[in-house]
Structure 1
Amino acid sequence: MVVTRKAGVSHPRLPLPEGPDDLVAFQQWLAEAIPMVGSLGITHMAREGDSLTWRLALAPSLNDKGTGFGGALTAQTTLLGWCWATLWLRERGLARDVVVAESSQRFHAPVKGDYRLICTPQDPQGPDALAVKLRERGKGRIALDQTLYCGDTLCLSAAGSYAVLPEA
């Protein structure tokens, strides 16, 4: 069944996993919930410890110079952080809304080929602090870093603050 998105109408949530999270199902849901995801070139998504990694094809994000388009790369870093927070919540059985509150990027080198994006908490204690805030206040924030590598070359570093909203 194809779902057509409409402005102002929330997309139905993906049911919480009953065991280890299924990243394939999450990625399929993500492409329905956020239509541009299907055009990002994500070829692989993996979670290991406190990191979330995407592998991406460069072709969908090319600019006029034949390198990565900064706007597309920025959107990808922001979305990767949102996915990190959403998956973290899902692993804990929490279906909550996440929004980006702040973000910044720094470009270090042009992206000239397929690449990988890695998202991790800025502070190793950040996830534990977020869990405490959610328990005590029903909402919280976490600061996440995203790094983009083309081969061994660091091309982009980004940071974002993601807010977990109170239950509706």
Structure 2
Amino acid sequence: MKSCKHLQSVLHSEIPLTRAMEISVAHCDVNRVELTAPLEPNINHKCTAFGGSLYSVAVLCGWSFVFHQMKLHNLTGHIVIQHSEVDYLLPVDGEIRAVCELNDSNVLSRFLKTYHRKGLARIKLEIKVLFNGKDALLFRGHYVVHQ
């Protein structure tokens, strides 16, 4: 839980938008990071979550996953999003919940080995925004970490 509080503190201090969106770190462990944000500060004219807010929570969930992995492995670096694709599948008229889960340890292992060797590495992540037990948004992002 301490690492989740640290991650949330970093988000709120390094990326001020996360405070305005009221993003919270709901879960973080070795394989999964989950961010949430209430509807109210992220609402649009249709009383659903603004598409830009959904995108932002998703991209930040991936960023948070990479940041958390770097912290777990005592590494530092600059994390940036290089490329992304997003599919908006369903409207969200409640809490925004984004989940980044990596079940293939080989992907992470290759990423970490490359970063150790070159000081630069890329990782492709999939983030889902879930609502009422269904995928409301599917985000695929390529993140780069460099020294």
Q: TM-score, normalised by structure 1?
A: 0.80
The structure that is strand-richer by fraction is 2
Displacement of 1:122: 8.1
Displacement of 1:123: 4.9
Residue correspondence of structure 1 range 6-17 to structure 2 within 5 A: none
* Aligned sequence identity (%): 23
**Partner in structure 1 of residue 131 of structure 2:** 150
**What is the DSSP-based 3-state SS (H/G/I as helix, E as strand, rest coil) of the residue aligned with 1:41?**
coil
**Partner in structure 1 of residue 62 of structure 2:** 81
Displacement of 1:124: 4.5
One-letter identity of the residue aligned with 1:134: Y
Report how many aligned residue pairs link the two structures: 147
Greater radius of gyration (CA): 1
Q: Does the CA contact (< 8 Å) of 2:123 and 2:143 recur in 1?
A: yes
What per-residue deviation string (whole Å, max 9, x for no partner) do you get for residues 6-46 of structure 1? xxxxxxxxxxxxxx852213212321211111022324421
Structure 1 residue 115 and structure 2 residue 117: aligned?
A: no
Distance 1:30 1:51 in 2: 17
Alignment root-mean-square deviation, CA = 1.8
Residue correspondence of structure 1 range 19-168 to structure 2 within 5 A: 22-121=3-102, 123-165=104-146, 167=147
Q: Does the CA contact (< 8 Å) of 2:22 and 2:41 recur in 1?
A: yes
Displacement of 1:94: 0.7
Distance 1:100 1:21 in 2: 26
Q: Which runs of 4+ in 1 moved over 4 A?
A: none
One-letter identity of the residue aligned with 1:81: G
Segments of structure 1 that go 5 or more residues without pairing to the other structure are: 1-19
Segments of structure 2 that go 5 or more residues without pairing to the other structure are: none
Structure possessing the higher relative contact order (Cα contacts under 8 Å, 6 or more residues apart)? 2
Q: Does the CA contact (< 8 Å) of 2:61 and 2:100 recur in 1?
A: yes
Distance 1:160 1:122 in 2: 16
Distance 2:6 2:67 in 1: 14
